[in-house]
Each structure stands twice: as structure tokens, then as C-alpha cells.
Structure 1
Amino acid sequence: MSHSPSSKSGAMVLLVASLAGLAIALYAYITPLTGVTGTLGALAVILACLALALMALLLAVLKGRGARIALSILVLIGLAGTFVAGLLLHQWWIGVAMVVGLFGLILDMRRPSRVQHPAHS
């Protein structure tokens, strides 16, 4: 039995936040006069946001508790690293997107790991 769409809302918030961070990082990387145009740091944030988006999609479909916990830890590390990198690049909106992603991760962690079935007598 699959989860209802509302039970995956945390993973979707994380996905949207990762894609927002990706868009901001791409803008900063491509647009002249952002201060980080063409830099390795902006490229690293682009790749990190792509990885976070992929992990958000995986988090939405995973059902096993252990796998979800392990992936949640990786996502948390990715969010923290990308937040710091965004701030070091002076791209404050990347930091905001990562904080929104953290809220999505917390929401997803509250999702039950499996559907409880009533006991038959």
C-alpha cells in the first residue's frame, strides 16, 4: 500500500527547496557581476543542489526505516554544507532555500515508516 500524497509533503518541500537552490546557484554561476560567475564554489553548490534533489526523490519513495534514516543523515549533511557554501559565496538566498529544505526534511522524518494495519480478531 502506498503512502498518501500528504505523507510525502516533506520530501516534496525538500525537492522544491533543492531546485530553488539550484536555480539560484545557476543564476550566480552564469550571470556576470554576481561576484561568483564561473567559480568552482558556485559549481560545487550547483552539484550539491542536484544531489539534494535526487536524494529528495529517493526519500519520497523509500519505505524501509533504516534506509530512510541513513538517507536523512546524508541529506542533513548536504543541507548544512550547501548552506555554508551559499553563505561563503554571499548568495543568501541559497541559505534560505537550504533552511526551507531543512523544514522539509523534518516534516519527512515525522512520516510513519510503514502503514499500520488493524489487527484481525
Structure 2
Amino acid sequence: MFASLSSRLGAMLLLIASLVGLAIALYAYLTPLTGVTGTLGALVAVLACIALAILALLLAVVTGRGTSIALRVLILVGLAGTFFAAMLLHQWWLCAAMVVGLIGLIIDMARPSHRARVTHS
């Protein structure tokens, strides 16, 4: 059990960061006097965080090397785009959540491949 938990630690951290980012983006979009209430940029940040959460869930369950590489590239683009949008919206906590998501992605990339886990288990 510990091996499976540690192999999914990066994806879980990415999922948590995406959900925290979603909460922050929803707060900025819905709450008056945040400066970005009801703007298209804040709505895009909400949708991007939802997409990142879905991709993090997929990353936790895929076993193919090509699929995981493609998901990691999509997640990296999503994190960078959401970080940039958060900077333009002056939502610094959302920027911090995306940095934590990047750390989760790096942890996930450092995990051993599925084939290595199967042969050593």
C-alpha cells in the first residue's frame, strides 16, 4: 500500500492544488469587490482549474508511458496558463496554488515508471 501511495503522491498534490485553485478562482469570480468579479478572465481560471483537477485524476490512474507523458505536457501547459492568468488578475494565492501544482507534477515525473514498479514489487 505504501508503494502505491508514494507513486501517486505527486498526482494527489496536483489534485489538491487544483481544487484549492478552483476555490480561490470561484471566490474571485463570485465575490464583490475582488476587482475581477464576473470577468471572463476569472471564469477562464475557474474552468482551467476544473480541467487541471480532471487531468490530475487521470494522471493518477494511467499506466501507459505515452499517455502519462501526454497528460504531463497538458498539465504543464495548463499550470503555466493558469499561473499567467492569475498574475494578470492579481490573484496571488491562485499563483501560489499553481506553483504547488507544479511541485506535484515534478514529484510525479520523478516517480519510477510502471514497469519498474512491477518488476521490483
How many matched pairs?
A: 116
- Which segments of 5 or more consecutive residues in structure 1 lack a partner in the other structure? none
TM-score, structure 2 normalization: 0.93
1 CA distance for matches of 2:69 and 2:112?
12
Once the two structures are TM-superposed, the CA of residue 7 in structure 1 deviates from its matched residue by: 1.0
Once the two structures are TM-superposed, the CA of residue 112 in structure 1 deviates from its matched residue by: 1.8
1 CA distance for matches of 2:60 and 2:112?
12
% identity of equivalent residues: 69
Structure in which a larger fraction of residues adopt helix: 2
1 CA distance for matches of 2:112 and 2:6?
12
- For residues 73-121 of structure 1, the C-alpha deviation after alignment (integer angstroms, 9 at most, x for no partner) is 0000000000000010000011000000000000001112212426xxx
- Which segments of 5 or more consecutive residues in structure 2 lack a partner in the other structure? none
Check whether the contact 1:64–1:113 (CA below 8 A) recurs between aligned residues. no
RMSD over aligned CA atoms reads 1.0
* Residues 54-73 of structure 1 mapped to structure 2, 5 A cutoff: 54-73=54-73
Check whether the contact 1:28–1:37 (CA below 8 A) recurs between aligned residues. yes
TM-score, structure 1 normalization: 0.93
Q: Whose Rg is larger?
A: 1
Counterpart AA for 1:52? L
Kindly report structure 1 stretches of 4+ aligned residues shifted beyond 4 Å.
none
1 CA distance for matches of 2:51 and 2:26?
14
The match for 2:119 is 117
